[in-house]
Structures are given as structure tokens and as C-alpha cells.
A and B are shown apart, each in its own frame.
Chain A
Amino acid sequence: MAVEILIIRNKCDAATNGTHLIGDGLMAHLQSKGRSVAELSDAAATPENVHHWLNSTNNQTKKLIIGFDHGSCSAFYGEKNNQVVPVITLSNVEDLTKELHVYTFACSTNGSNCIGQTAVSKDCYSWLGYTEPVYVFTVAGALLNKLKTCVWSYIDALVDGKTLEQAEAVLKQAYKNHFQDHWVFKYNHDRLLLRKRMSNTKIDTHNRVVKWWRGRKVTGLYAHGPQNRNAFVHFQGLGWKRLWPAHDAQVVSMMASAAHAKAKNRNVDFFEDDGRVKILYVF
């Protein structure tokens, strides 16, 4: 079943023991806020699993990727056979992150011309990461808990409906609140960077669930007779999309509009929500 949020956090060396600890309890925390979440933790953070959950064809992750792991300019890492291996790379980043938001607590993914910038230049909505290596506490205790609070603050802000910019400000302030406690907070703060395709977006308004498609042609119609409100439209280049099945009148009027568009070869704009057509304009 598809989820809104995917957490990736490997654990196969001393450094990732620390980054892995930051994610302890996060899945349950997000679920308590009503979010659907999947987690690839430790040995589950394999390239195959990451591909399964993120490729745009399967579309199993709808809104946000959270990664606590190793990173570099050219890749974000997971693990296989207890070895660090790249899971999101310059060659697959377009497909795996398109129309998603990404938040990494990992080294160097958001430097100049690095994987974060590449992702956003393709179809990824946003990538918040670090421009250089990050520092982490590897021993459980008060400082690790404070770092955890900082890292979680961005995630909490996003799932609570804040814009990317508001969430970034929350994260920066969280780090600033702990500057006195240890140099790690200022160091990481000074290297975080948000890259985004547009301003004032939220994870609930720009994602793989909802999307406006414009200037499309209708190339097929299908209605399954024995079932009420079971009607599909085939759009050129997109395939079959079900009409939003909440109301009889809505299905009938959209089907009539689509039939007209097909017969007259007119362009249509439509709003897709979770793979289904919710609003349809014919021009």
C-alpha cells in the first residue's frame, strides 16, 4: 500500500549508528499525526527496496522522503550486506524523487551541482540537505536528543502544514536555540540549504497525489456497466485515469465532457487527485 512518507536510515558503521538514532521513534510519531509512513531501517535500506518505494511507476511514496544516512555530492546512501551502497544517484534521482520533497540529514548532498540541485532541476519539488559533511553525536544522551529535536523540527513543520520556507525557518531557529550547547549545532546550521522548484509550496499541495495536467487530449473512454460510478478516461501520454467516484452527477458530467473533447479533438485540463480525475475542463 502506498504511503505519504518514506523514511530511509541505514546502520552499518559508527557514523550511521548516530544518524540512525536520530530516526528512532519518528515513524510512530508521524503516524500519531495521521500520516501514512513506511520505513527502510538498517538492513532494509537496500537499493532494491528504495527503488520499489520511490520509482514513479509504482508510485508507492506520495509526498516526502526522509533520509538519515551517508551522503555525498553524487549520491545518497543505504546499505546492502552491511556495506554502505548508493541508493539514490545522479542517474536515478529524476525518477525516484520526481514530484516529491526530500529531506536528508546526510553529508554534502546539497552542494553546488550535487545531487540535490540535480533533483530539483529535474522534477523534485524540494531538497533540504547539507552542503558539506555533517557532524553527529554517536552516543545516546542529552546532546543527541537536542540534535534529534532540531532535525525533527523541519519534518514536524512540514507535516503540520507549514510551507517549505516556514519549515526551513523553524529548523534554523531550532539549531540556533542550541548554539550555546555545542559547536555541532552551529556547524550543521551553517551548512544546511533548501533548494526548491517554487515558493510557498507544502507537502500536501505539491506531491505525487495532486496535480494539474494541462493541454491534454482524450483518446479513450471506458465505463464498467455493472458498477456505479466506475468510469475511466484515457489521456494521451498518461494512460487511463478513473473519474472521481464520489457523486453520480460528477461522474456523468465529466464523462459527457470527456466524450465531447474526444469527439471534437479538444484540449482538456484536469486536476488529478490520487490517480483520479477530480476536476475537468474542456476547451
Chain B
Amino acid sequence: MKRADWIPVGLTAAIAIAALAFMGNPSTWLTLSIAGLAMGLLIFLMASGLTLVFGLMDVMNFAHGVFIAVGAYVGASVMKYLAAPAAADSLLENLGALLCAALAAALAAALLGWFFERVIIRPVYGQHLKQILITTGGLIVAEQLIVVLWGPDLVPMQRPTTLRGAFLVGDMAIEKFRLVAVAVGLVVFVAMMLLLNRTKIGLLIRAGVENKEMVEAMGYRIRRLFVAVFVAGSALAGLGGALWGLYQESLTVHIGAQMMVLIFIVIIIGGLGSVGGCFVGALLVGLVTNYVGYLAPKVALGTNILLMVLILLWRPQGLYPVSKS
């Protein structure tokens, strides 16, 4: 067992503390940190499936954003349908509506992911060029179909009543919905880590990432495993999409494609194929975006690219390189 590498985690913490020093105002810092954590964890939800799929099967799905968009749109429709419980002034009913929307979003994205794997990706295993082209084609078609089904206009997505607004603790404002996002993200991360590190399936997935042929030689059908991971990754992307839609409170067709850029940056920073790296990378991106957006809004645009460049100069394979044999 390799010893865990804590340097990237320490780096994230160091950046957070350095930001506090620059700001000198703990309440602003806390607000920004929670916003950054919420954003980072949502990005992690959307990105984790993609990086795992790449690690396991060497497949890069440029249409991953479609799952995000579908999740967000399905979530918005369910929220609209459940307008009564969502508008009720009771936390329980609100959370129920949110849960329904999230589950529906994950389910829809999972189904789409299953279809995608069978029809679009299966014929082009091992051919990177074709994968990029085919999945980009899939992205075009799926985005257009979303327009056909939901119309080209901006879709508003309202947060449930009790999750709107912010808690005021002293002079700190903590948006309630961000706490929900942080909670969901942490639960998913912990569940995923337990699944990967404590179960047989997780063992097989980790083994498959390191050496596919060996796992096959032991008599396991890695293809089935891959389909399962692909579908689960799509479902998480759909869930993340629904929450992201609520986070922004409105949707356009390009929500997924826009997120893809951030997601790519995150999984490159984390090391292609590494779930832990994806987690740290997502937090890093979320925090840095929020801090820089406050401290120096003019350079905020370039921060993610700059962050990626710096990290790749430091560790060219990403924070947690995946050893491949």
C-alpha cells in the first residue's frame, strides 16, 4: 500500500489560509470559502464519472456535458411539477421535492448514459480520434434534442422556499443552498471512497484502472464493470447538473458544454483517472475561483487556466498520477 500523498491537500489548505491573510476579514473569507467548497463539490460530482471512465477504459467522453444538461432540465421539470411542496414553508417538504428532482435527474442521466455507451461509444474503443469526434457529434445531436424538447429559451429554476436566502451568523452570510450542495457533495465523495476502497467492486475498479488485462485474465468481465461505472458516472453528472441548475437558478442548453471546460481543467489537474485527484482538483478550482474573483476580479478569468499551467509545471501528470502498466 502506497502512503497517501498529503501535499496537494496541504496546498489547498495553504491557499485557503493565505487567502484569509490577504483578505484580513474572517467573515468574508468564510462566505467565500463556503461558496468555493460548494462550487468545488458540485464540480466534483460532475467530473468524477468522467475521470473514472477514462481511467478504466481509456475513453474520453466529450459529450459528458450532455448528462449534466439533461439532469438539469429533468430536475427543473420535476421541480416545476412539484411546485406545491417546493413552495411550502416546511423544510421537510422542500427537501422531499429536492430529493425527487435529484433522483429523477440522476435516473434520466443514467438511462441516457447507458444508451450512449451502447450506441455511441462501444464501436470506437481504443480509437481516441474517433472517440473525440463521435462524442462531439453526440453532443451536438443531444443538445439540439434538448432544444426540441424544452425549447431554446432560458429556463428558470427556483430553489425551494426554505433553502432560499442565507443564514446570518454575526456579520457572516452563509447561503443555505450552498450548505446543501456541500453536504450532498461530501456524502457522495465519502460513499464513493468507501465503495472504491472497501468493497470488492471497488477493488476490481481500482485494479482495472491500473491493469485492465490482468483483471480480465483473472476471469472478471471488465466490460460489464465499465458499463456500470459509465452509467453511475452519468447519473452523478445528472445529479450534479440538477444541483448546479438550482445553484445558478436558471438553465440554458449550453449549461453542460460550459461546465465541460471547468471539468476538463479539474480532471487534468487531478491526474486523468484519479478520483482523489479529481476531488482535490475540484476543491482547488472552486476555492481559487472564488478567492481570486473577490481579491482581483480582473484576473479572475484566467485563474483556472493559470492554475492548471502551474500545477502541470509542478506535476506534469497531474496531482495524483495514475500508474498505468
Determine if chain A interacts with chain B: no
Residues in B lying within 8 Å of A, measured CB to CB: none
Where the two chains meet, the residues of A that have a C-beta atom closer than 8 Å to any C-beta of B are none
